[in-house]
Structure 1
Amino acid sequence: MITVPRGLILSLAALFSTYHVILALYSLDAPTSPVPPLLAVLLYALATVMSLWPTCPARMPLWLAFFNVAVCVAVPLLVGSQLDGSVADNGYATWYVAAVGTLMTITATRRRATLSWVGVGFLVVHTIVWAGAGSLASMGVIGSVVWVFVAVTLARALAKAGRDARQYGLAEREATEWQAAQEAHLYERQVRLAQTIRLAAPMLRRVIQERGTLSDGQRKECRYLEAAIRDEIRGRRLLNDAVRREVMAARRRGATVTLLDEGGIDDLVGTDLEVVLNTLADAMAATTAATIIARTAADGSGTAVTVVGINSPDPRLSALGQDSPDEEVDLWLEIPRAEHAQGASAGQATRRH
């Protein structure tokens, strides 16, 4: 987008304002007394300097806008009091008409449109009362009104363009984020599909070769593979080669293993993630629990993964008529997510009855 340096705009406005001040000083000998016009020049110069101060924000402060309106009321009254409105041409003595238009144009450009209309509106009323409606064109009042109108229109158009640009930028960022998310989902699906094919393809080929007639051992192997495929879907980032190996070993000895990745370790990458997963694999290798549940912790906590191993009560106690005890917690391990997780191991697990 093409932009105009702010300093250039301020410089042009300062040149116009200085030109009006020069005309005012040049015409000081025209009025009856030079004191009111000189006071008007000082007020106008003060308002212009404050309005064009380089460090001011883009939107003019409300108090300054009101001060500019007050100056636009005072200047015509001060200068007009020393001139004869019935004279057809007062020459440069009516410098205040263009000065008011310039000051109100600056006010409108700095996003105070309503007050700029108030200031130029007073100029129109004053001119009609002081010199008649026919003087609006000859004194340049219509030109001042046009300047303010153009400034207000351009300010609103630029503001709308700025809002549209921000909205388009926001929409572009959202579209980029959506595209990145879709690409990430597609990549993850491809990875999961490749992993599933790698696990299931040998057994599927065997099923085809045997024409669906499988031994009990092969059927168990199919169930193990089905559970492993579910792990790839539900476990996601809880899996590496070591964890897959220990999960399969636990299932082969009859344990029930559940892996639940709920997004709590999505921010872990590289070595940090491998440390957590290797600690999880060590914990699963060290336990003999009948049920093992590994679950990612909530976001923002110091724990990455919680591992619980549970043993069922001994069924022989119920056969003897004794009350069955509660389930026995064989393993309880919270794997931290910080770098000191390297010191964590299955030996840190606690056994509770």
Structure 2
Amino acid sequence: MTSRRSAGHLGRADSARGPSAAGLRLGLARAVALTCLATLIPALFLAFIQLPHLHPLWLATVGGGIIGFSLLLPVYAWSFGDVRWLCGAYALVSLLGLATWVWAWTSPLRANHAPWLWMCVGIAAVCAAIATTVPLGFVYTVVSALVFGAVRMTRSGGDLSALEAMQDVLTLLVLPTALLLLIRFFANAVDELDATTADSQQVEADRAIDRALHQQRTVLDGIIHDRVMTTLVAAVQTDQSRGEVAELARTALDAVADAGSAPDGAQLLDLHQLARLIEDMVDPVCPLAEVIVDASGDDLTVTAAVASVLGQAAREAALNVSRHAEAENCTITVSARMDRGDQQVRVDIRDDGKGFDPEDLPENRFGIRVSMRERLTHIGGTVDISSRPGEGTRVSLLWVGREQRSADAAARRRVSQALRSVLRVEVFVFLVWLMVGVQVLVGWLASLGEDSDWTPVALGLAVFATAVALWRAGERRISNLGAIVVVLCLAVISELAHVPMPAVRGLGYASWHGTVVMVLLITVLVRGRREIAWVGLGVFVVQALVWTYGHDLGPYVFLDIVFGPLLWMVLATLVVRGVRSIGEQLVRVRSASRQNTQAMAESFSKLVLREVWLAELRAQIGPLLQNLADPAHQLSAEERDACRVLEGRLRDALRAGNLVSQGVSDAIQAARGRGVEVVLVDNRGSRLPETVRRETLRQLERLVRDSTGGRIVARTAPEGYAEAVTILRVDAERNLTTIDEAGTVTVRKT
């Protein structure tokens, strides 16, 4: 089984990815589009101040590009969903604008403010991740932050010192990095969620099919026991009225006909169900065959009618393997893929037998001509046979049809549990604290030389208290009390950080605490306390407003402090809300699809009943019951013997299903004719593992065919026993063959 995962590609429209990942991509694209549009307003406000000092060509290229892409992004996000090229263009223009800022600055004066592009750089990093991958988004973040730091040390960037420029670099690094980490963890989580729900879908569908098959098998066994076997026993008895036997036979035939009413031929089967149907149809005639599913096309489906024909053709090919190939191994591979709008379903039957020259194959070979080629031609399929003497044989069944997909998604595991199981919040919090530690360290260094040396110590204690509150919050979700403690600590950090600000030149590095506050509030948001996180942001904005108003610093300083935290809080909220929306949708899908799953299982079980079990039963009893149903037909001694033998075969199948196949039944019938006593006892209570069952049927058929007298007793053990199957052969000597749960065969004399 193969699968494809591409968790790093956030914007890729990959059909192999699941609905959760697709939903995250769409939600993230729309959130980024709105954020780019929202960023444009304050960016233009700052750009207006610096407009006279910038080259017109640069303004037309970079400024016009950012404006144009910001306006186009929401249109594409809501119309098409795929905004990769626009995001890539936005990120490229932003980086190009930073790299050429020194050239674009035409004034001889030193800039009083940071380049207005700093507002676009953070969201541009997310755009770069959407256009490419999250790791490349990290690379973009580092490169753009370093370029911005270099610009800040020039006249056009404010002529800052290296330490001040480093603070700006970290400001541009920390928040985009935190959000990219958040996106990466959510992307991994929803990818794992899709894989988990896909697995649970298959498990739930298989269980529904098992239940439906068990119900159908119970009905069929009742018909065989109460109708068919009763008729056969009555026919053997010479004193039974011929009219009564005929009436019993007609009743049995009617019961078999009623049980085999055709299912809905338009019912869709996925690839796993097709493989299971083929396995059930092939197993009785070729137990050594192993069915494998290539799951790369497991979202494709075929109708029950097409599945029936493919199964019948595969059965004929497998029957040829048993009769003619003398093979040790036979593999049936079921696969599907899309090709130019059409879906191709292929069933390959390979064996390692003696092979043959296809040129020597008679054109009128009934099994190949009717059971394979004509059946496939009727549904628009083809048969290709490839073989060489001594090199085995490959039979390829190919059906090509228009794409058919199930209307409803499969049942899903409850998403909240799955998300909690795959989302590694502890790792996220650890990385966040690593970034916070770096930012605090630079803040301390930036404060050195100021009179308020006590401030860094107090800030460190406040950050430590916040860390304790976060780490004591448990593995996944922080408590209300813990979240409130975090907000209080962050308020203290903000107040302490405001103390040295008026004493320093420039406020870029002195307002470093805004990054720390924002990262920690995003962490609170991720850990399930959205309302408290927004209250904390409100407290932070009010503190910044009071401080800037009290020191008469103007709106630019206020915007410089609160813009980044507000922007990233909005974007993080949109991402978290998008993931929650995905979860709610999956829960609704699971609830809505249960009835569809059950209906599909019932239809599939009826298909198996008709195409496998009843087909085998009709082949065994059809002609004989037709003769018995005719009251004018006088039974011969040979027909009575046939009734006796057939009744024995049916009894074996009812009592020991794990030990019976068509080949084994034929061998037992012949052995009993030679005087060999064969006893089958099935204590398993469930189906043997396929490896064990294949080896059991192989060994049992060989022993029965080789016996000329004596007694053979084959017995399956209940689940949990080391020896799954024992076969005792008593003739001139006693030999015991055992097969364990791994399919290992051991033979010893007793």
Return the TM-score normalized by structure 2: 0.31
- Tell whether the 8 Å contact from 2:521 to 2:533 is kept in structure 1 after alignment: yes
User: Shift in Å at residue 95 of structure 1?
Assistant: 3.0
Residue identity opposite 1:151 in structure 2: L
Per-residue CA distance 1:78-122 (angstroms, 9 max, x = gap): 761415xxxxxxxx9233598666666667778865798698567
Residue identity opposite 2:716 in structure 1: T
Q: Distance in 2 between matches of 1:19 and 1:208?
A: 94
Match of residue 195, structure 1, among 604, 616, 621? 616
Q: Distance in 1 between matches of 2:542 and 2:628?
A: 98
Q: Find the counterpart in structure 2 of residue 95 from structure 1.
A: 508
User: Shift in Å at residue 268 of structure 1?
Assistant: 5.0
Match of residue 67, structure 1, among 437, 454, 462? 437
Q: Find the counterpart in structure 2 of residue 317 from structure 1.
A: none
Match of residue 232, structure 1, among 631, 650, 653? 653
Higher relative contact order (CA 8 A, sep 6+): 2
- Tell whether the 8 Å contact from 1:76 to 1:123 is kept in structure 2 after alignment: no
Q: Find the counterpart in structure 1 of residue 737 from structure 2.
A: 334
Q: Does the residue aligned with 1:267 lie in a helix, a strand or coil?
A: helix
Residue identity opposite 2:620 in structure 1: L
Q: Find the counterpart in structure 2 of residue 277 from structure 1.
A: 700
Match of residue 127, structure 1, among 509, 528, 544? 544
Q: Distance in 2 between matches of 1:126 and 1:298?
A: 73
Match of residue 205, structure 1, among 607, 626, 643? 626
Per-residue CA distance 1:143-196 (angstroms, 9 max, x = gap): 33430332222330354367579989999xx999x9799758844763332222
Q: Does the residue aligned with 2:508 lie in a helix, a strand or coil?
A: helix
Task: Identify which range, 3-12 or 104-113, moves more after superposition.
Answer: 104-113
- In the superposition, relative to structure 1, how do residues 180 and 110 fare at CA in structure 2: closer, same or farther (>3 Å)? farther
Q: Find the counterpart in structure 1 of residue 572 from structure 2.
A: 152
- Tell whether the 8 Å contact from 1:258 to 1:293 is kept in structure 2 after alignment: yes
Q: Distance in 1 between matches of 2:538 and 2:165?
A: 20
Q: Distance in 2 between matches of 1:251 and 1:20?
A: 92
User: Shift in Å at residue 244 of structure 1?
Assistant: 1.5
User: Shift in Å at residue 202 of structure 1?
Assistant: 3.1
Match of residue 688, structure 2, among 248, 253, 264? 264
- Tell whether the 8 Å contact from 1:65 to 1:112 is kept in structure 2 after alignment: no
Residue identity opposite 1:131 in structure 2: T
Q: Distance in 2 between matches of 1:7 and 1:254?
A: 72
Per-residue CA distance 1:29-55 (angstroms, 9 max, x = gap): 8xxxx8xxx7666556457657749x9
Q: Find the counterpart in structure 2 of residue 288 from structure 1.
A: 710
Per-residue CA distance 1:270-312 (angstroms, 9 max, x = gap): 7x466323344258x35634xx6523356687745323589xx
Q: Distance in 1 between matches of 2:583 and 2:146?
A: 31
CA RMSD of aligned residues (A): 5.6
Q: Distance in 1 between matches of 2:640 and 2:610?
A: 27
- Tell whether the 8 Å contact from 2:736 to 2:749 is kept in structure 1 after alignment: yes
Number of equivalent positions: 305
Residue identity opposite 1:2 in structure 2: G
- Tell whether the 8 Å contact from 2:149 to 2:168 is kept in structure 1 after alignment: no
Q: Distance in 2 between matches of 1:119 and 1:13?
A: 27
Per-residue CA distance 1:9-43 (angstroms, 9 max, x = gap): 335544368647855885578xxxx8xxx766655
Residue identity opposite 2:573 in structure 1: T
- Tell whether the 8 Å contact from 1:68 to 1:103 is kept in structure 2 after alignment: no
- In the superposition, relative to structure 1, how do residues 110 and 264 fare at CA in structure 2: closer, same or farther (>3 Å)? same
Residue identity opposite 2:700 in structure 1: L
- Tell whether the 8 Å contact from 1:280 to 1:335 is kept in structure 2 after alignment: no
User: Shift in Å at residue 269 of structure 1?
Assistant: 7.8
Residue identity opposite 2:434 in structure 1: L
Per-residue CA distance 1:233-270 (angstroms, 9 max, x = gap): 45445334553234335666595733537422423587
Residue identity opposite 2:736 in structure 1: L
Q: Mind listing any 5+ residue stretches in structure 2 that lack a counterpart? A: 1-9, 13-129, 186-427, 444-489
Q: Distance in 2 between matches of 1:95 and 1:170?
A: 51
Q: Does the residue aligned with 1:94 lie in a helix, a strand or coil?
A: coil
Q: Distance in 1 between matches of 2:602 and 2:150?
A: 62
- In the superposition, relative to structure 1, how do residues 151 and 241 fare at CA in structure 2: closer, same or farther (>3 Å)? closer
Residue identity opposite 1:153 in structure 2: T
- In the superposition, relative to structure 1, how do residues 202 and 211 fare at CA in structure 2: closer, same or farther (>3 Å)? same
- Tell whether the 8 Å contact from 2:677 to 2:709 is kept in structure 1 after alignment: no
**Identical aligned residues as a percent:** 19
Q: Distance in 2 between matches of 1:233 and 1:220?
A: 20
- Tell whether the 8 Å contact from 1:108 to 1:151 is kept in structure 2 after alignment: no
User: Shift in Å at residue 224 of structure 1?
Assistant: 3.3
User: Shift in Å at residue 333 of structure 1?
Assistant: 2.8
Q: Does the residue aligned with 2:628 lie in a helix, a strand or coil?
A: helix
Q: Distance in 2 between matches of 1:339 and 1:109?
A: 55
Q: Mind listing any 5+ residue stretches in structure 1 that lack a counterpart? A: 84-91, 311-329
Q: Does the residue aligned with 1:333 lie in a helix, a strand or coil?
A: strand
1:1-353 to 2 correspondence within 5 Å?
2-3=11-12, 4=130, 5-11=133-139, 13-14=141-142, 15=144, 19=148, 23=152, 42=166, 45=169, 52=177, 58=185, 59-61=428-430, 62-64=432-434, 66-67=436-437, 70=440, 73=493, 76-77=497-498, 80-82=501-503, 93-95=506-508, 113=526, 123-132=540-549, 137-138=555-556, 139-140=558-559, 141-160=561-580, 186-187=607-608, 190-211=611-632, 221-236=642-657, 238-248=659-669, 257-260=679-682, 262-267=686-691, 272=695, 275-282=698-705, 285=707, 288-289=710-711, 293-297=713-717, 303=723, 305-307=725-727, 333-336=736-739, 341=745, 344=747, 348=748, 350=750
- Tell whether the 8 Å contact from 1:240 to 1:277 is kept in structure 2 after alignment: no
- Tell whether the 8 Å contact from 1:224 to 1:248 is kept in structure 2 after alignment: yes
Q: Does the residue aligned with 1:132 lie in a helix, a strand or coil?
A: helix
User: Shift in Å at residue 199 of structure 1?
Assistant: 1.9
- In the superposition, relative to structure 1, how do residues 258 and 11 fare at CA in structure 2: closer, same or farther (>3 Å)? closer
Q: Distance in 2 between matches of 1:197 and 1:349?
A: 41
Q: Distance in 2 between matches of 1:186 and 1:259?
A: 29
User: Shift in Å at residue 198 of structure 1?
Assistant: 2.1
Q: Find the counterpart in structure 1 of residue 296 from structure 2.
A: none
- Tell whether the 8 Å contact from 1:23 to 1:95 is kept in structure 2 after alignment: no
User: Shift in Å at residue 203 of structure 1?
Assistant: 2.2
- In the superposition, relative to structure 1, how do residues 10 and 181 fare at CA in structure 2: closer, same or farther (>3 Å)? farther
Residue identity opposite 1:190 in structure 2: E
Q: Does the residue aligned with 1:95 lie in a helix, a strand or coil?
A: coil
Return the TM-score normalized by structure 1: 0.57
User: Shift in Å at residue 128 of structure 1?
Assistant: 3.8
Q: Distance in 2 between matches of 1:136 and 1:301?
A: 82
Q: Distance in 2 between matches of 1:41 and 1:193?
A: 81
Q: Distance in 1 between matches of 2:738 and 2:605?
A: 27
Residue identity opposite 1:263 in structure 2: R
- In the superposition, relative to structure 1, how do residues 107 and 287 fare at CA in structure 2: closer, same or farther (>3 Å)? farther
Q: Which has the higher Rg, Structure 1 or Structure 2?
A: 1
